[in-house]
Amino acid sequence: MPFDATEITRLFTGPEGYRFARWGRPVVPVVFGVDDDSLTHLKDGIAQTVGITGSKIAETDPELGANFMWFFCSNWDELKSVPNLEKLFPGFDDTINALQKSGANQYRRFAFDDDGGIQLCVVLLRMDDALAQMSIQTLATTETLQALVLWGDKAFEKTSPTAVIKENGICIVKPEFAAIVRAAYADMMPVAADDSSHALRLAARAGMLLEDLET
């Protein structure tokens, strides 16, 4: 079932109110801290999930080189030795200390361009038992989906946006969430919005996309 405007408003509402953003440029991933075999499967999963937007990953970003950066570690302290990583994070040490205290296993930091669109996303992943039990394809799908748009901090409190098919173990983005993302990337939709009227337009377009799938 498609989400109505009220539910979509909830998906993009955080402490500062309604705030939506998507990428206004091609996504260029780079991954640190995994072996070559994992890297290949991870990038395949990233590319497939980015495909929901109707575009493809690119080889380079003219400003940043790479703009979707993944860092894997076994404990948060390891990241303190990564050269220049602190330049991507205002208050980097405080962030790492907070992650250690909370026991978190993942963290995303976004940066935005002059139009409010996503310019950069840095993903930090601490491979605890929970993440280690996930397949690489599932990890790639879930993390990439959460980086394609700026979701509210409680967006997935009621339901997960992904599901694993029992027969083959493949992780997919649920159709209603895929429709929201695809609708958000339509050419006539803005790269950023802070008015919940945006949710009305998003709900209408996502609903039409789901209807097309069912016919």
DSSP per-residue letters across the chain: ----HHHHHHHTEETTEE-EEBBSS---EEEESS-HHHHHHHHHHHHHHHGGGT----S-BTTTB-SEEEEEESSGGGGGGSTTGGGGSTTHHHHHHHHHHHT-SEEEEEEE-TTS-EEEEEEEEE--HHHHTS-HHHHHHHHHHHHHB---TTTTSSS-SEEE-TTT--EEE-HHHHHHHHHHTSTTS-SEE-STHHHHHHHHHHHHHHHHHH-
First to last CA, the chain: 14
Claim: this prediction has a pTM higher than 0.85: yes
Whole-number pLDDT of residue 203: 96
CA atoms within 13 A on the CB side of 90: 2
Domains defined along the chain, listed by start: 1-22+152-215 (no CATH), 23-148 (3.30.379)
Contact 125, 73 (CB under 8 A): yes
The answer to which of 45-59, 78-92, 94-108, 110-124 has the lowest mean pLDDT is: 78-92
- Residue range 162-208, pLDDT digits in tens: 999 999 999 999 999 999 999 999 999 999 999 999 999 999 999 99
CB 189 within 8 A of CB 205: yes
pLDDT tens profile 99-148: 999 999 999 999 999 999 999 999 999 999 999 999 999 999 999 999 99
Dihedral angle of Cα 128, 129, 133, 139, to the nearest 10 degrees: -20
72: confidence class by pLDDT, cuts 50, 70, 90: very high
Position 214 confidence tier, pLDDT thresholds 50, 70, 90: low
* Model pLDDT, residue 173: 97
Instruction: Give the tens place of pLDDT for each residue, 141-164.
Output: 999 999 999 999 999 998 999 999
